[in-house]
Amino acid sequence: MNWKKIVLGVAGAVCLASWIALGAGLAMGVDKPVRVVLVVIAAFATEALFWSVAAVLGVSVVQARKQIWAKLTAPFRGAA
């Protein structure tokens, strides 16, 4: 297996697990400090996933981050 696939798989699994944990915490109605910790962990995991993808795909993705986010979020903003 290629090392790039391993890095992306691990980063993706950690990110997914952190978001599942956040969803479970919200569903269980945990206290506010626990929710804050879960949100911070999910945010860091998502950012780590983004930078892992950027590192694997190359510097051009890092340089084009603003354009990538604009394309990804366009459907949610109502833009075409």
Q: Chunked in runs of 10, what are the mean pLDDT values of the chain (80 residues)?
A: 85 96 96 96 94 78 75 78
What are the φ and ψ backbone dihedral angles of 29, each rounded to 5 degrees?
A: 75, 45
C-alpha–C-alpha distance, residues 66 and 60, integer Å: 12
- What is this structure's pTM? 0.68
pLDDT reported for residue 18: 97
DSSP string spanning 12-74?
A: HHHHHHHHHHHHHHHHHT--HHHHHHHHHHHHHHHHHHHHHHHHHH-HHHHHTHHHHHHHHHH
